[in-house]
Amino acid sequence: MGNLRKSFSEARCLVIGGGGFIGINLSNALARAGAQVDAYGRRLSIRDSLISGVRWTSADFADRAKLAEAVEHADFVFHLVSSSTPSSANADPAADVMDNLVTTLHLLDICRVQSFGRLVFISSGGTVYGIPSMIPVPETAPTDPISAHGVQKLAVEKYLALYRHLYDLDYLVLRVANPYGPMQIARKSQGVVAALMMRALADEPVEIWGSGDVVRDFIHVQDVVRAILMASLHPGPSRLFNLGSGMGTSIKTVIDDIERVVGRGPLKRIHLPARAVDVPSNVLDIRRIREEVGWQPEIEWMDGLRKTMEWTMNAKENGLI
Amino acid sequence: MGNLRKSFSEARCLVIGGGGFIGINLSNALARAGAQVDAYGRRLSIRDSLISGVRWTSADFADRAKLAEAVEHADFVFHLVSSSTPSSANADPAADVMDNLVTTLHLLDICRVQSFGRLVFISSGGTVYGIPSMIPVPETAPTDPISAHGVQKLAVEKYLALYRHLYDLDYLVLRVANPYGPMQIARKSQGVVAALMMRALADEPVEIWGSGDVVRDFIHVQDVVRAILMASLHPGPSRLFNLGSGMGTSIKTVIDDIERVVGRGPLKRIHLPARAVDVPSNVLDIRRIREEVGWQPEIEWMDGLRKTMEWTMNAKENGLI
């Protein structure tokens, strides 16, 4: 394990899960910061989305030979792979463990024997805590997930700490809240802002699971990516940070605000039953990353929504989504 | 899920891992309490050790069809399977996850769809906490394992809580300290009392990993089994209990005490390097089980050692170990 770099200039960065929402944004930001970036993933979710300076490798996370090759001599490995969502993982937790936890342990075994810098893992600030004992929820709060997705992410965090203890593996965990913004595509039960925006722009009714009083911590992906870059270079003692806006917004409010931003009059609302995997409220306490790393969110919510709308309209026009 | 029974009389009990140290003792105790007991395991570690009233099934935990058949209509399922030790799990955490966590998730899926009572899981009081933040360590202490074995046990605990949340699965977790006593066979890095006793009785030198100042919480298996029976019938709110003696004993003291009990003069001590998986000290706070369940340890340490010696001599004479 080498010493931690002071900048991304010429740094060799591997972004596993580089073809997804955060992965594309992160890969591009790293390339802009001067890094040599390998974006590694099963597929690129939006074509032509990676800037020059990012090399795309289409490969499976479970392909251990390809993975070992990609990790070799990396200064930073960003692990953003998640083949599951809170809903899909619950349907088959054993498969979720096989696809995500076992493969991650293979990655850790590759990292511990190779010449290698720091491993940055994107965890789930929305699910590892379960039903928060306090709002906003600090990193020290109890972790009792109510989704298999959350248990699996938490297990990865524990194995990372273990590999540090046993092998001095340098790692960082970022428990990201609900990111939104450019490159997000609505998947089943994830990407609520993207899903609502798409429907609003298509003049389709929006779906609300439960009462709409469910509160989430939405953070613009540009803020997320800036935090990942800053925290990754940070040598400080903490290995685990919440990463969110620190503010709660209800689903109802999201819909009202999208209605305002889109400006085509009231959206039709369809009410669906509440889901057992949804915690009633989740807002992250972001004092630790603010104080230790010196990062704070910069993109204001309504402004972020406007940017998201512009990107979505553009992407639709160009047939990208 | 049925209502919780008030006694084991006529209760259908499945003991998975029934051929091991705690499994044999538990199966026999359940049969004595009037239960219909199925002991299920890969192999019976000590022949002729199960009393009549216990039916032995030789099968693999990974055999889902056999497992489903065995679980059917059980009032209690005791899950004691552990194919790994703190040392072996670290050597290959991914294999440990496959062998223990994935198989356990299959068990949970079987339990949630079948007519079924309560699932009792034997967790590891010695590893889930990692390096304890306080001694004795209460159930509410942070859980930061320094062994893959500990992470995997902790993950099972989290999935059990999840299955209760999602499917109302009735479960109980017992975080057992270091059990010792009859039916224990020294395995690599486990069963320190059995290992030391065997060597002392064979006039062989004893091995000490590190300084010998490592402190553990030893509890006689008879006390463990009595606690499992009592807690399993207990309807109270807690789903998780520490199960130990509540007292710490150093490895040095264990050796001194075995020397005294065996009474053949000083044992030769061989010093080996300390192991990264060993926490320096672990003593469980047992107030919760004492207060909620009304159980407390009854077998005094020196008396327990004497009983262990008698059993070991007997078993050696009869060629059982």
Per-residue pLDDT of A35-89, as tens digits, reads 999 999 999 999 999 999 999 999 999 999 999 999 998 999 999 998 877 778 9
Question: In chain A, which ranges are E strands?
Answer: 12-16, 36-41, 54-58, 76-79, 118-124, 170-176, 178-180, 206-209, 215-216, 218-220, 240-243, 249-250, 269-272
Q: Which of B98, B146, B155 sits opposite A151 (nearest CB)?
A: B155
Q: Is A166 on the interface with B (CB under 8 A)?
A: yes
Q: Is B109 on the interface with A (CB under 8 A)?
A: yes
Q: What is the DSSP string of A10-24?
A: T-EEEEETTTSHHHH
- Render pLDDT for A96-123 as a digit per residue (tens, 0 to 9): 999 999 999 999 999 998 877 899 999 9
pLDDT of residue B229: 98
- Residue A1, pLDDT above cutoff 50: no
B182: Cα within 13 Å, side-chain hemisphere: 16
- Residue A3, pLDDT above cutoff 80: no
pLDDT of residue A86: 78
CA neighbor of A117 nearest in space, from A80, A160, A68, A74: A74
Q: Is B147 on the interface with A (CB under 8 A)?
A: yes
- Render pLDDT for B232-274 as a digit per residue (tens, 0 to 9): 999 989 999 999 999 999 999 999 999 999 999 999 999 999 8
Contacts of A94 in chain B (CB under 8 A): 102, 105-106, 109
- Residue B159, pLDDT above cutoff 60: yes
Contacts of A173 in chain B (CB under 8 A): none
Largest CA distance in chain A: 59
Q: Could you give the CA distance from residue A251 to residue A272 in angstroms, rounded to a whole number?
A: 13
pLDDT of residue B189: 63
pLDDT of residue B1: 43
Confidence of residue B218 (pLDDT cuts 50, 70, 90): very high
Please give the torsion angle defined by the CA atoms of residues A275, A242, B132 and A169, in that order, rounded to the nearest 10 degrees: 110
Q: For helices A64-71 and A103-113, what crossing angle results, to 10°?
A: 40
pLDDT of residue B278: 81
Mean predicted lDDT score pLDDT of chain B: 94
- Residue A288, pLDDT above cutoff 50: yes
Q: What is the DSSP string of B216-249?
A: E-EEEHHHHHHHHHHHHH--SS--EEEES-S--E
pLDDT of residue A64: 95
Alpha carbon of A174: minimum distance to chain B alpha carbons (Å): 17
CA distances from B166 to A87, A276, B162 (A): 12, 7, 6
Which strands make up the sheet holding B54-58, listed edge to edge? Answer: B54-58, B36-41, B12-16, B76-79, B118-124, B170-176, B240-243
pLDDT of residue A189: 63
- Render pLDDT for A200-209 as a digit per residue (tens, 0 to 9): 999 999 989 8
Global pTM reads: 0.94
- Residue A241, pLDDT above cutoff 60: yes
Distance of CA B12 to the CA centre of its chain: 21
- Render pLDDT for A303-321 as a digit per residue (tens, 0 to 9): 999 999 999 999 999 999 8
ipTM of this complex: 0.93
pLDDT of residue A5: 86
Alpha carbon of B303: minimum distance to chain A alpha carbons (Å): 38
Three-state SS across B146-171? Answer: CCHHHHHHHHHHHHHHHHHHHHCCEE
Query: Helix or strand or coil: residue B250?
Result: strand
Q: Which of A102, A143, A162 sits opposite B97 (nearest CB)?
A: A102
Contacts of A101 in chain B (CB under 8 A): 97, 101
Query: Helix or strand or coil: residue A9?
Result: coil
Which whole number is the average pLDDT over B224-235? 97
| Of B131 and B2, more confident | B131
Which whole number is the average pLDDT over B287-301? 98
State percent of chain B over pLDDT 90: 87
Q: Could you give the CA distance from residue B125 to residue B292 in angstroms, rounded to a whole number?
A: 18
Residue carrying structure tokens 């699996």: A152
Residue B235, judged by CB atoms within 10 A of its CB (0-12, 13-18, 19+), counts as exposed
Alpha carbon of B148: minimum distance to chain A alpha carbons (Å): 7
pLDDT of residue A179: 97
Mean predicted lDDT score pLDDT of chain A: 94
Contacts of A98 in chain B (CB under 8 A): 98, 102
- Residue A140, pLDDT above cutoff 90: yes
- Render pLDDT for B21-44 as a digit per residue (tens, 0 to 9): 999 999 999 999 999 999 999 999
Confidence of residue B321 (pLDDT cuts 50, 70, 90): confident
- Residue A247, pLDDT above cutoff 80: yes
- Render pLDDT for B303-320 as a digit per residue (tens, 0 to 9): 999 999 999 999 999 999
- Residue B3, pLDDT above cutoff 80: no
Q: Could you give the CA distance from residue A25 to residue A17 in angstroms, rounded to a whole number?
A: 11
Query: Helix or strand or coil: residue A69?
Result: helix
Q: Length of chain B in residues, anyone?
A: 321
Q: Could you give the CA distance from residue A83 to residue A69 in angstroms, rounded to a whole number?
A: 21
* Subunit contact B165:A146, Cβ cutoff 8 A: yes
Q: Which of B97, B109, B166 sits opposite A105 (nearest CB)?
A: B97
Q: Which of A128, A131, A159 to mutate to test the interface with B (most CBs of B within 10 A)?
A: A159
Q: Could you give the CA distance from residue B152 to residue B160 in angstroms, rounded to a whole number?
A: 12
pLDDT of residue A188: 60
